[in-house]
Amino acid sequence: MTATAGSIHILGICGTFMGGLARLAREAGYRVTGSDANVYPPMSTQLEAAGIRLQEGYRAEHLRPAPDCVVVGNALSRGNPAVEYLLDEDLVYDSGPGWLSRHLLQGRWVLAVAGTHGKTTTASMLAWILEHAGLAPGFLIGGVPHNFGVSARLGGSRFFVIEADEYDTAFFDKRAKFVHYRPRTLVLNNLEFDHADIYPDLASIQRQFHHLVRILPATGRLLVNAADPALAEVLAMGCWTPVERVSAAGGAAEWAALPDAAGSGFQVRFRGKVVGRLDWTVPGGHNRHNALSAIAAAHHVGVPVSTALAALARFEGVARRLEVRGVAAGVTVYDDFAHHPTAVATTLEGLRGQQPARRLLVVLEPRSNTMRLGVHRRTLGPALAAADRAWLYQPPDLGWEPGEVAASAPVPVRVAGDIDALVAEVVAEARPGDAVVVMSNGAFGGIHQRLLDALGRREAGHG
């Protein structure tokens, strides 16, 4: 692309996906501007550093003079002033996934990672494997892989890795975002009920996944979790692409991982033959599955297993995926994005398996739309089983009684409606050697640093 590629204005530019799209468009030579209801760091500073002008709010004047295309984020709906203006003025508009597909993905070999859990980590691992193999992939990921330091780049080859989300596309396109990406290599990690604000049941999500399976070419490849019955039902609706199944527990599958007894690594088998071994310290069976899926996807584009294993041995993780935010008073504070009971359980079980003698104190914010609707309130308590104690934040507008979680949890759970009070309780409980795992898909009022600051003051004898 050249600097004459055209101009776009992105409505909702500070979201993770749209912010990544903005960086890709700018890198491709487009003139990019954008607006959002909440323009704040770190996304705002990252975009401005990339030469992208940002505006606060959604006002009609932001679209004058008219750009070549207005790219509309899926958080915007009818009644929004900018949306009403672009419709009244008959401006050219598109969705983020639609624009990406038409302008940046056409002609590329897209490797997509879909599923309820593990998309960001698996896509990050896959992009890093391809990079380590010298393939210079492009990528768009819903997090920041530490090996790259950015969530999106165009890359220098035909390969492009994308985190394929099943959330809806835009107010004018209610299909799942991932049907726009037209992958050739597709990872289906797992499938559970989620996004209760737009899907009424699991069957409706399965139908969207089958729409994705329908557009995969016969020369492509499907890498599917062998142990997931919901995905088996999706494939039973019809499949026209070769399938390789993935089993992280050593089951019957083309790709199998046999974990060490100590849990420090695993053996990789392909079609019954041992093809390599990975020594690493990343905790949890879910991450073993993520890694195996990434190895299998990379294999489809010609990356030897040995190369993939060498890359994963140097994988540095993803921001906000059990990321250490700091240590104070001997207490380690982690930040984790988990916002579904299964993700909560697997993350805590992985950390418990890696550090069995350590006390795990969990602080959880039910922030996702599905969590806030109370869909998971009966399964959230049992998901905390690997913790020693837990705290559940109750925001003022939570639509259900969090005491249900405390009642069903096998460990002590406290409910707090004030972040300052919550911090004080956790700090009073924490002892040297403990791990405090903060789980939220938002900023959670900066609680990670507040915990570290309060622990530091306690250690210094000032609080």
Asked if the model's pLDDT at residue 98 lies above 80, the reply is yes
Q: Strands 185-188 and 109-114: what pairing?
A: parallel
Asked if the model's pLDDT at residue 205 lies above 50, the reply is yes
Question: What count of other Cβ atoms lies within 10 Å of the Cβ of residue 432?
Answer: 10
**Residue 460's pLDDT band (cuts 50, 70, 90):** confident
Q: What percent of the chain has pLDDT above 70? A: 95
Contact between 316 and 146 (Cβ < 8 Å): yes
pLDDT of residue 320: 75
Contact between 389 and 410 (Cβ < 8 Å): no
Q: Strands 7-11 and 138-140: what pairing?
A: unpaired
> 233 or 252, which is more confident?
233
**Residue 400's pLDDT band (cuts 50, 70, 90):** confident
**What average pLDDT score do residues 274-278 get?**
93
> 317 or 86, which is more confident?
86
Instruction: Find tokens 């505006």 and name the residue.
Output: 55
Under CATH, domain 107-312 is a member of which superfamily?
Mur-like, catalytic domain (3.40.1190.10)
Mean pLDDT of the chain: 89
pLDDT of residue 407: 83
**Residue 193's pLDDT band (cuts 50, 70, 90):** confident
pLDDT of residue 17: 92
The CA R_g of the chain, rounded to the nearest whole Å, is: 22
**What average pLDDT score do residues 433-462 get?**
86
Contact between 243 and 255 (Cβ < 8 Å): no
Distance CA 463, CA 461 (A): 6
Q: Give me the count of residues in the chain.
A: 463
Q: Which CATH number fits domain 7-96: 3.90.1640.10, 3.50.50.60, 3.40.50.300, 3.40.50.720?
A: 3.40.50.720
Q: Can you say how many angstroms the Cα of residue 322 is from the centroid of all Cα atoms in its chain?
A: 12
**What average pLDDT score do residues 402-410 get?**
82
pLDDT of residue 263: 63
Element (H, E) at 244: strand 243-247
Identify the CATH class of 323-460.
alpha beta
- The amino acid sitting at 420 is D
Asked if the model's pLDDT at residue 374 lies above 90, the reply is no
Contact between 177 and 164 (Cβ < 8 Å): yes
pLDDT of residue 3: 46
Q: Is 232 helix (H, G, I), strand (E, B) or coil?
A: helix
Asked if the model's pLDDT at residue 83 lies above 60, the reply is yes
Domain boundaries, the chain: 7-96, 107-312, 323-460
